[in-house]
Chain A
Amino acid sequence: LAKTTQPISMDSYEGQEVNITCSHNNIATNDYITWYQQFPSQGPRFIIQGYKTKVTNEVASLFIPADRKSSTLSLPRVSLSDTAVYYCLVGDNFNKFYFGSGTKLNVKP
């Protein structure tokens, strides 16, 4: 099962770049890597997805090394509103998107 491992929590300050790394040693050849963001009292929200190398959108960047056994979500210049739980998921037909506990990011002023 292509489960993931990510830090339980991280602290940062406004304006800093935040990098959250996720390990997925058993990723399968066809699996994509997807990150979701969840604010309190809301459902998870898709933020970025990639297969290899680097993906960038208006919210974040996703860096995936050649062996694809890990990935790093990069949030540029975070603000207080980026305080949330971030989940790293690897597409797995048998696992049906195991969310785990995610990484709780706390952005301080």
Chain B
Amino acid sequence: GAGVSQSPRYKVTKRGQDVALRCDPISGHVSLYWYRQALGQGPEFLTYFNYEAQQDKSGLPNDRFSAERPEGSISTLTIQRTEQRDSAMYRCASSSQRGIATNEKLFFGSGTQLSVL
């Protein structure tokens, strides 16, 4: 596609429910990143993929969070048993590089605003 697409744009869920957030990167982009952004703060790294391989998941807050990119394109970030503290903007970014280059340029989607009631 022309840009990074994320869905849904907004997600409201009740505490304890599972949610799945989707990211469709720019076509052909090798690397895919997930970030979480709280209001007034910069994006906080969660995890990233090169093709289908999850290279780093050190930013995932706990084991309720997981991500996959099975075919090296679309990715899903899943949060199980959601808690109110999970409420935030979740952003996806993609890059044409392999995630190890220091001159990488990230292209971000519009994000999914998650609200846990």
Contacts and interface: CB of A to CB of B under 8 A. Distances in A.
A36 B59 CA distance: 21
A87 interface: yes
A32 B102 CA distance: 6
Contact of A96 (B42, B56, B101, B105): B56
Tell me if A's interface is mostly helix, strand, loop or mixed: loop
B44 A32 contact: no
Interface residues of B, number: 27
> Interface size for chain A: under 10, 10 to 19, 20 to 34, or 35 or more residues?
20 to 34
B107 A92 contact: no
Contacts, number: 61
B2 to A, nearest CB: 14
B104 A91 contact: yes
Contacts of B100: 93
Interface in A82-109: 85, 87, 90-93, 95-102
Contacts of B48: 96
A99 B35 CA distance: 10
A87 B109 CA distance: 17
B108 to A, nearest CB: 3
B62 interface: no
A93 B35 CA distance: 16
A45 B45 contact: no
B93 interface: yes
A13 interface: no
B43 A99 contact: yes
Interface string A25-56: 00010111010100001111110010100000
Q: Sorted from nearest, which 4 A-B pairs have the closest CB atoms?
A: A91-B102, A43-B108, A99-B42, A32-B103
